[in-house]
């Protein structure tokens, strides 16, 4: 679902204050300076608002990179 991928990149770009071109499937907290605990909270909040979904604590802990976040969103939207 390219629209989810594009929207996720836009949100991550805004939350972490980086260009969307710096975000790849493998982008993880080690790659972005602003991806710390507060950044994670801001990201989760923005994703829940944008996609009208809610993440469980276990799901948030599994969001280790862009690809895993995208998969998690897609699974929630398909459910």
Per-residue confidence (pLDDT) for residue 79, from 0 to 100: 83
Per-residue confidence (pLDDT) for residue 1, from 0 to 100: 66
Per-residue confidence (pLDDT) for residue 7, from 0 to 100: 97
Q: State pTM to two decimals.
A: 0.92
Per-residue pLDDT in tens (0 to 9) along the chain, 79 residues: 689 999 999 999 999 999 999 999 999 999 999 999 999 999 999 999 999 999 999 999 999 999 999 999 999 999 8
Within the chain, where are the H helices?
Answer: 2-16, 37-51, 57-61, 66-78
Domains identified in the chain and CATH numbers:
2-78 (1.10.1200.10)
């Amino acid at each position: 679902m390219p629209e989810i991928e594009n929207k996720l990149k836009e949100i991550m770009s805004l939350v972490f204050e980086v260009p969307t071109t710096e975000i790849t499937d493998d982008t993880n907290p080690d790659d972005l300076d602003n991806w710390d605990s507060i950044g994670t909270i801001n990201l989760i909040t923005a994703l829940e608002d944008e996609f009208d979904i809610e993440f469980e604590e276990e799901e948030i802990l599994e969001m280790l990179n862009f690809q895993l976040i995208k998969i998690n969103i897609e699974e929630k939207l398909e459910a």
